[in-house]
Chain A
Amino acid sequence: MPFIPHTETDIKDMLAAIGVNGIEDLFDEIPSALRSGDLKQVPEAQSEMEVTRLMHERAARDQVALNFIGAGAYEHHIPAAVWQIATRGEFYSAYTPYQAEASQGTLQLVYEYQTMMTGLTGMDVSNASLYDGASALAEAVLMSVRANRKAKARRILMPLSVNPVYRSVTRAIVGGQGIELVDVPFDAKTGRVDPAALKAFEGEDITALVIPQPNFFGVLEEVDALTDWAHAQGAQVIGVVNPVSLALLNPPGEWGDKGADIVAGEGQPLGAPLSSGGPYFGFMCCRKEHVRQMPGRIVGRTVDADGRPGFVLTLQAREQHIRRSKATSNICTNQGLVVTAATIHMALLGPEGLERVAGHCHANTHALVERLKPLGIVPAFSGEAFHEIAFRLDRPVRPVLAAMAEQGVLGGYPLGEDFPELDDLLLVCATETKTEADLDRYAEVMKAALAAG
């Protein structure tokens, strides 16, 4: 029997110890009228050999072409050691560290992770992670409603330059709680939050302003001015950032005069493979004074009965298993295994390695700009970019992308998916994984696709 160790003798002895005649007797409290018939959609069992063959065939069908799509998930090199260690059984098959004395491996690792994240973001504290970047933004919105006691209106300014899926996930998650998410338009020329549009909100009761850096178009927002503006209105600042970019960019903790209040984002670029969209992890950091409003697990350092240092889950009085209907969130787990990988990933890259990765992403994407110029393709926005750029084509993007995909190049993300008026804009990312030859190939395939169209 797959994964069941019982021998005939075991079963006989165990039934005798219980005092029943057969296993079926153990289900005698289930009303017989409810009992299931046969399953129809579950196939007969396959051996490991058979299922291995099936999965290899399926995976081979998806063998990815040369990928230039970013739009929230970014292809980076992941050192071999990262997942070899993360999938050691002691990390892979442990659970939430409820018994701290028998979970110091996971607990210390999370404490190290929290430290690394505060270093990257320039914030005081980090939690042990949330599900993904989109749901982390939703949790950050809920948190700011709790933490900003000056604001009464439960009103969040959400720029349209924030990843559209993050906006829609936030809507789905906070919608039941009477929180208003107000769109803030972007400047069609720069691709940044439109300062004139913000002016209209001056003097109003605002809970928080969300600031994406870089924004969904890859453009760098004027974070210092935005942060100071929000604070002058009594609003908090929720920064949504790409963690790899922070090797080069000013951390949210240092934006403007006072820095961001809450920072959230997608942790995937720190060692999680693209993997069809998950598992990734969401991160969240904040100022120390708001830590009791933060959702999710937090690991703290303390001492044991012998005075030796060690690590425990702390501030649990915020959480659902204690506070039930009054908890900060219903969240119960973090994305522990992916955080394990991310921590090892950051330790391996170190400050120099992460800076090189970020630098090469920036340089490669800008090198692509030069490659596309001769084709008459130029960036659509004037704002400076980190590692992703929206290009304007002279025609709708989707047929061009389909033609490129046929040649084995995934050419980017069509912004028309989310912004019908930007049907001719193509969002492209070239990370450090792309070589000179890859960039040449992109330009060549693009040229052919345009010529054929």
Chain B
Amino acid sequence: MLIFERSRPGRGATAQAPQSPAEVSSLPERFRRSSRVPLPELSELDVVRHYTRLSQKNFSIDTQFYPLGSCTMKYNPRACNSLAMLPGFLNRHPLAPASHSQGFLACMYELQEMLTDVTGMKGGVSLTPMAGAQGEFAGVAMIRAYHDARKDTARTEILVPDAAHGTNPATATMCGYTVREIPTDDSGDVDMAALEEALGPHTAGIMLTNPSTLGVFERRIKEIADRVHKAGGLLYYDGANLNAILGKVRPGDMGFDVIHMNLHKTFSTPHGGGGPGAGAVGVSERLRPFMPIPVVAREDGGRYRWLTEKDLPQSIGRLSAFAGNAGVLLRAYVYMRMLGRAGMSRVADFSTLNANYVMARLREKGFELAFPERRATHEFIVTLKRLAKETEVTAMDVAKRLLDYDFHAPTTYFPLLVPECLLIEPTETESKETLDAFVDAMAQILEEARTSPDKVKGAPYTQPNRRFDEVRAARELDVAWRPGTGVGEEAREGRAG
């Protein structure tokens, strides 16, 4: 049932609002709305129960194993949340003067320093981008600003491997570049001959993810960096997979000029049902003048202040109204302090151990790996191409059936160049028992696919809904409720079990 169907005229959560209406006669009639806002009228209990019940229809890290490749669904420590929500942080107005902000600014400064250290980006870090995609935007905009500042304006092209996240080419376009795709060779590395052919005086830069979205480490990264730099281009590092190499190898040492980090992945801030994220960017020394503002500086005497347009006049500018997703940044800060120096490389150690373990176990159960000769990084790819041909059971069917076994599905059909793929990322916070149970479920589904494929193709059976008619959703667009079109009690209120 929708919240609107629970509404009754005249009901209300009166303790939550001012006790009486206010005098607003000074507001001229021509500016006033003629009808009331159509919000539901409910008691506090109505609202609390409705949304508590809705929450129970979600899979989440706190309730299920969530091996969604490329998303790093690791445990989000509760202390990060409660400490970021202390009243001193929560009630601080973003434009409060520095004299009333030293506690917050100290956290932000130290976070910048820690991220600079773990990424090896010697020009420093700006925390302001509000998500990975905005971090990408900041990065490519800096590449553009760098070339523009040198009057090197013939560089109009950004190279992107065909395995890249969709955000990479979309970002390059937003920054006014044309995109050229670079193919991948059979072992999952960048095709060097194709790269060489693509490079030239029109090359502004290349966007790379390492480990790549194929779940393998790009072994010739140094050679790629040298060739791109020789052609006059810059290297952008997409930090989506930083979890795999934290404390092991740094993007700065690989030769990257600019990177973004997904703090909601590697540094365990919550995914929140699709955000908010945080996409901090790190730069080499030559890109420092172009960093997005504001950035926190520490002055002699230990006081902190914001650097703005006045300090960084060549900056690409501001990307958010204030200073990014501050509350998310505080959560990442607390997480890094609890992990500490030794904890950084442990993240890479155990996320890699877990991925290689699940990979070995699934291979033993008869699953086909996309890159059987390679090490898994923190994730790896299974391809169900052969299974689909033999049984018509697809990667999507296996994903849906996993929900019946109470596991969230891995990422499906990404990267696009591996047919019928599942991208599996267990993360370091999962125990061996959980991984074993997942492997058993996968094996069971493989067996079902061979003996009763229709059962798998019809999954899921245990969720609030069966599979949806997505074509109808797009064709008969219904994106906002209007009176008289409720879902009523038809929708199952819980899982049928």
Contacts and interface: CB of A to CB of B under 8 A. Distances in A.
Interface string A393-417: 0000000011001000010010000
A274 B94 contact: yes
Interface in A288-309: 288, 291, 297-306, 308-309
A242 interface: no
Interface string A69-106: 10111010101010101011111111111111111111
Interface stretch (A143-151, A310-318, A372-380): A310-318
Contacts of A410: 93, 96-97, 100
Given A314-B473, A432-B18, A320 B166 contact: yes
A347 to B, nearest CB: 5
Nearest to B117: A41
Residue among B54, B104, B107, B171 facing the most chain A CB atoms (10 A cut-off): B54
Contacts of B325: 278-279
A357 B337 CA distance: 40
A278 B322 contact: yes
A47 B324 CA distance: 27
B207 to A, nearest CB: 12
A340 B321 contact: no
Could you say which interface size class chain B belongs to? 35 or more
A86 to B, nearest CB: 8
Nearest to B9: A351
B47 A301 contact: no
A276 B321 CA distance: 11
B321 A349 contact: no
A57 B51 CA distance: 34
Given A71-B95, A95-B68, A102-B403, A133 B321 contact: yes
Contact of B33 (A3, A248, A274): A248
Nearest to A10: B432
B22 interface: yes
B249 A62 contact: no
A335 interface: yes
A333 B83 contact: no
Contacts of B337: 43, 45-46, 51, 54
B105 to A, nearest CB: 9
Contact of B340 (A44, A111, A337): A44
Interface in B230-279: 245, 247-250, 253-254, 268, 270-277
B12 A350 contact: yes
Contact of B321 (A57, A114, A134, A247): A134
Contacts of A14: 353-354, 357, 432
B134 to A, nearest CB: 7
Residue among A26, A129, A223, A291 facing the most chain B CB atoms (10 A cut-off): A26
Contacts of B326: 275-279
Interface residues of A, number: 201
A357 B298 CA distance: 40
A340 B3 CA distance: 13
A249 interface: yes
Contacts of A321: 165-167, 414
Interface stretch (A30-38, A182-190, A203-211, A228-236): A30-38
A61 B17 contact: no
A96 B17 contact: no
B356 A26 contact: yes
Contact of A351 (B38, B54, B76): B38
Contacts of B344: 39, 42
A451 B108 CA distance: 37
A19 B3 CA distance: 54
Nearest to A412: B95
A173 B130 CA distance: 13
B324 A278 contact: yes
A33 B32 CA distance: 68
Interface in A1-33: 1-6, 10-11, 13-15, 17-20, 23, 26-31, 33
15 contacts: A3-B428, A14-B353, A46-B338, A62-B92, A64-B93, A92-B62, A94-B59, A175-B317, A250-B32, A278-B322, A314-B470, A324-B170, A351-B38, A352-B12, A413-B95
Given A26-B376, A115-B481, A327-B170, 20 more contacts: A18-B357, A23-B349, A27-B348, A29-B374, A44-B340, A75-B91, A101-B400, A101-B403, A168-B318, A173-B319, A278-B320, A278-B327, A304-B468, A310-B464, A314-B473, A323-B166, A323-B170, A332-B132, A362-B22, A405-B97
